[in-house]
Amino acid sequence: MPFIPLTDDEERTILTTLGCQTSDDLFASIPPKIRETAKMSLRLPEGRALAKGMTEHEARLWFAERAERNTPAKFRHFLGGGVYDNVIPSAVDALVARGEFLTCYTPYQPEISQGTLKAIFEFQTFICRLTGMEVANASMYDGASAIAEAILMANRLRPGKRSVLISSLLPPDYRQVVDTFLKHQACLSVELGFDELGAVDVREMAELAKTNDPCCAVVCYTNYFGVVEDLASIRSSLPSDCLLVVCIPDPSALSIFETPAALGADIVAGEAHQFGTPMSFGGPHVGFFATRRSYARQMPGRLVGETVDSRGNTAYALTLATREQHIRREKATSNICTNQGLIALRCTIYLSLLGKDGFRKLGIQNYSLFDYLKTSLESLGIPMKFKKAFCYREGLFEVPNLDKRFDAAVAKGIIPGIRPAKKGFQPNEFGSTLLVTVHPKLAKADVDELVEVLSHD
Amino acid sequence: MIEGQGTTGLVLKEPTIFERSSAGRQGYALPALDVPEKQPVRFVRHKAAELPEVSELEVVRHFTRLSNWNYSVDLGMFPLGSCTMKYNPRINEEIAALPGLSVIHPDLPAEHCQGALEIIYCLEKLLCGISGMDECTAQPSAGAQGELTGLMIVRAFHESLGSSRKIVLVPDTAHGTNPASSVLAGYQAITLKSSSSGILNLEDVRGVCDKFGRDIAAMMITNPNTLGLFESNIIEISQALHNVGAQLYMDGANLNAIMGYAKPSDMGVDVMQFNLHKTFSTPHGGGGPGAGPVAVRSHLAPYLPNPRIRLVEGKYVTENLKSSIGKVRGYYGNFGVLVRALAYILQQGADGLKQVSKAAVLNANYLRHRLSSHFAVPYRSPHFHECVLTDAIQIKENGVKTLAIAKALIDQGFHPPTIYFPLVVGGAMLIEPTETESLQELDKLIDAFITIAEAIRTKKDNFEHAPRKTIVGKVDEVRAARQPILSLDDRAQ
């Protein structure tokens, strides 16, 4: 067996050393009643029995067949809404495939984990520089769980407050995760509506903040309709003791739009998979989490700090661990044990390759391509749902005969976008809307083809 | 200094990537823009983010040098107890990277992602087959999130019966995530002491069940536990819990020890999580991504996270349950990790998985047996996949503690075991060799341990200054916490 080196002879050697007759002797503390029925009979839904395993090549073919049942690679898509396609520099895959990164553990032994530790320190630095915040952690499971943890932290920072104000324009998956996590908290969640710009209704929010005694307001920058929220006016309309939690599902926007820190954010949490990690059907992705220095000890997740070693060299170690479950157990700030180490590394390598100029270009190109798409659609009578919405690289369009035109696009090898009505938005209001997103794999010709197929029956 | 397989080689120094920056340099060219360039006029970022400006080779060198500072399974044995650092088959990486599996958006209409849905469905079914449980969700991101998911399911179940319970019982040998997850699920965690034999005393459990009765929502048991011992009263424990309407949660972190020898369903388990990065060989990646699917008996199935994947008339479809606890993370979970774990299970088959447990247990017992004449062994009964030693003898002989022994092992070329865990054993060294290590490798580790024990006994070395051969010496963790420098921009302050 390729993954198990133990030979029959060696098994006998071990058993002799132990003074056992058979290996079953070692399992004698399992009650006989349990052992009797322990045999596994494994079967695939297709009917194939799995007593013996497949060879490596059989497994390769089995998966290749399943991969072909998904959308063919030649399809183009305009999907986004929290998960973004991107081109991935070849060096990213080459570097993360190194066993030294792939097959190491959480860096509890700093002397033999300096590579991972230093890379995480760089990741934390990247997140701070992107968001403008002072401290960032070593990563979270994904954007949705990062924002849920951000709200729990706001609760800890403002104990006794009655509610959480939450924008209705978080990606629906984020919102559902937040709801799950808040179910067991005393805090009430109050939904924030949107205005005719497809952005948080700031006036309504100010009223709700007055009556609901909130610990924080959670807004999305950019929101699910692709709109760049006016964070400064949101901040100034909130009571001073209400924390501003900014959710960032699309951090490529931070290349051209002002940092949430400069606009008054207290906690920033989001999702960075588009920096070097494929969409992978929604995971593994990588959440990020940043805040003010004074709140560092209330953060969830791992943190890496720079220090020195016994020889006076710069060295790195996990730090402020007294927040964490393996030390504090039931008093920990979170139950999280792992981070998304390898995906955070992908992000770090990607941003290093892209660099200062490349990062800015990424944002400008996304913005420009969307502007072209929007102008083209509008000129053919496909308006944005919120006509004056200020969008970055995705937006909500009103498409007549949507069912038909959606199918027509698919027939041409284009997945034209996401239908919010299928993601929990009211069918009455959103039944004919389509969320259309651009990404660096798309060019003018792809957009022209999409515009063509969406603009007539 | 004693010579082991650890030696020094040419290891290069390296600053942070930011310190390699030269203005104007580029590491990657994005696809060219073929529409007119536009600049936003509102909310414009005033100062560009200070990303490094480096060439591709500089990036490759930087991260290659960093990688050289890591110890990994690919480099040598990683007997980190409770973490199951087994070999990660490379075919699983190749499969997960297939464009048809990696370049797919989770909002694709179901008819465009049948292959992906099938993969998740197959994995959930096979995990049920392995554990004997009835239904499974692959959504949770990691073991700890699986625990939380399982407890939320338990809570929803009790609430559906109109019962509001307050307590989750957690043995003192449990992982720290257990009590932390209990609190996050809105429960109070009560610690249960294990007996001197290392497992739970049935009378203690019955006593607690009498005392707290219908306030108990669940008990979380790791079986085999973190000492590598099977909780042999598990059936009676489950009965005692069920008598007061409580649920038995099994932390499946150690499932790798009992596949084909015991099914959680037959132990009376109601809900459990799997750690795919442990039992099913997905790489740890320096601390993630993992995956922590949760399996339940049928009475808890209505509360599983949404969406559920079903096979209806030959098509895979998604369905939302009304009584579901909701979503615990975005989309379908760490799909790429699920792909790797399924690839592993398909290649092992039922027979192979049983071999995995058998070899893991043989290896751990061999290590324990061979080392027991040099180190104190607090528990005598046969162990499962891991065993515990302590520093009691070395403290007595020369005042050398577990931490120094761990650092000495590094110079011998091994990753140290898990140290000072479980908390119930003073100076614990928890050793888990896994099934993928050969007898020759085990012997090398044993030799290293014995060499260290001898040096301590003969007072040749107390390893105060270990490790000596690593890129950095002992790291000042106290200073890291007192004056936190958490990003490059903190240095100046």
pLDDT tens profile B212-268: 999 999 999 999 999 999 999 999 999 999 999 999 999 999 999 999 999 999 999
Q: What is the mean pLDDT of residues B441-451?
A: 97
This prediction's pTM: 0.97
Contact between B365 and A14 using a beta-carbon 8 Å cutoff: yes
Fill in the DSSP letter of residue A54.
P
pLDDT tens profile A64-92: 999 999 987 779 999 999 999 999 999 99
Report how many helices (DSSP H) and strands (DSSP E) chain B contains, helices first. 13, 12
For residue A30, the chain B residue with the least C-alpha distance is B232
Q: How far from the centroid of its chain's Cα atoms is residue A322's Cα?
A: 26
Q: What is the mean pLDDT of residues A18-29?
A: 96
Cβ atoms B124, B136 nearer than 8 A: yes
pLDDT band (50, 70, 90) for residue B61: very high
Contact between B435 and A3 using a beta-carbon 8 Å cutoff: yes
The amino acid that residue A135 corresponds to is V
For residue A306, the chain B residue with the least C-alpha distance is B485
Strand partners, B137: B294
Contact between A54 and B347 using a beta-carbon 8 Å cutoff: yes
Q: What residues of B are in contact with residue A85 (Cβ under 8 Å)?
A: 103, 105
Query: How many other β-carbons are positioned within 10 Å of the β-carbon of residue A381?
Result: 10
What is the Cα gyration radius of chain B? Answer: 25
CA-wise closest residue to B305 among B281, B280, B319, B324: B324
Cβ atoms A308, A274 nearer than 8 A: no
Residue A422 tokens read as 């299928």
User: Counting one residue from A and one from B, how many pairs have CB atoms under 8 Å apart?
Assistant: 715
Report how many helices (DSSP H) and strands (DSSP E) chain A contains, helices first. 15, 13
Query: Per-residue pLDDT for B382 more than 90?
Result: no
Instruction: Say if the ipTM goes beyond 0.85.
Output: yes
Cβ atoms A141, B329 nearer than 8 A: yes
Whole-angstrom distance, CA of residue B224 vs CA of residue A27: 11
pLDDT of residue B493: 58
The domains located in chain A, with CATH, are: 76-88+355-454 (3.90.1150.10), 91-349 (3.40.640.10)
pLDDT band (50, 70, 90) for residue A45: very high
pLDDT of residue B342: 98
pLDDT of residue A336: 75
Judged by DSSP in three states, A407 sits in helix
Cβ atoms A414, A365 nearer than 8 A: no
Q: What residues of A are in contact with residue B132 (Cβ under 8 Å)?
A: 37
Contact between A13 and B54 using a beta-carbon 8 Å cutoff: no
pLDDT tens profile B184-218: 999 999 999 999 999 999 999 999 999 999 999 99
Query: Per-residue pLDDT for B38 more than 90?
Result: yes
pLDDT of residue A185: 84
Query: Per-residue pLDDT for B279 more than 70?
Result: yes
Residue B449 tokens read as 């341990």
pLDDT of residue A333: 75
List Cα–Cα distances, B67 to A100, A283, B357, in angstroms: 5, 24, 31
From the list B30, B107, B285, the residue facing A440 with the nearest CB is B30
Contact between A66 and B116 using a beta-carbon 8 Å cutoff: yes
pLDDT of residue B3: 67
Residue B327 tokens read as 């979503």
The domains located in chain B, with CATH, are: 92-347 (3.40.640.10)
Whole-angstrom distance, CA of residue A292 vs CA of residue B487: 13
Strand partners, B191: B170
pLDDT band (50, 70, 90) for residue B87: very high
pLDDT tens profile A99-149: 999 999 999 999 999 999 999 999 999 999 999 999 999 999 999 999 999
Contact between B33 and A369 using a beta-carbon 8 Å cutoff: yes
pLDDT of residue B85: 96
Judged by DSSP in three states, A418 sits in strand
Residue A207 tokens read as 């009223």
Contact between A259 and B45 using a beta-carbon 8 Å cutoff: yes
From the list A97, A336, A356, the residue facing B53 with the nearest CB is A356
Query: Per-residue pLDDT for B1 more than 70?
Result: no
**B24 burial class (0-12, 13-18, 19+ CB within 10 angstroms)?**
exposed
Cβ atoms A217, A244 nearer than 8 A: yes
pLDDT tens profile A185-224: 888 999 999 999 999 999 999 999 999 999 999 999 999 9
Whole-angstrom distance, CA of residue A316 vs CA of residue A309: 9
For residue A152, the chain B residue with the least C-alpha distance is B184
Write down the residue that tokens 């761990």 correspond to. B406
Q: Give the angle B121-A144-B339 at the CA atoms, nearest 5°.
A: 30
Contact between A364 and B281 using a beta-carbon 8 Å cutoff: no
CA dihedral for A12, A17, A21, A24, sign (positive or negative):
negative
Contact between B336 and A351 using a beta-carbon 8 Å cutoff: no
pLDDT of residue A131: 98
pLDDT-above-90 percentage for chain A: 93
Whole-angstrom distance, CA of residue B405 vs CA of residue B152: 41
pLDDT band (50, 70, 90) for residue A20: very high
Whole-angstrom distance, CA of residue A27 vs CA of residue B223: 13
Q: What is the pLDDT of chain B when averaged over all its residues?
A: 96
Cβ atoms A336, A262 nearer than 8 A: no
pLDDT band (50, 70, 90) for residue B77: very high
Strand partners, B274: B252
Helix (H) or strand (E) holding A269: strand A267-271
Helix (H) or strand (E) holding A379: helix A341-379
Query: How many other β-carbons are positioned within 10 Å of the β-carbon of residue A67?
Result: 22
Q: What residues of A are in contact with residue B40 (Cβ under 8 Å)?
A: 228, 256-257, 367, 392
Q: What residues of A are in contact with residue B311 (Cβ under 8 Å)?
A: 45
pLDDT of residue B15: 97
Residue A333 tokens read as 């700030």
Strands B135-137 and A214-220: unpaired
pLDDT of residue B2: 57
pLDDT of residue A330: 77
Whole-angstrom distance, CA of residue B36 vs CA of residue B200: 71
Residue B393 tokens read as 């003898």
List Cα–Cα distances, A80 to A427, A445, B53, in angstroms: 20, 19, 29
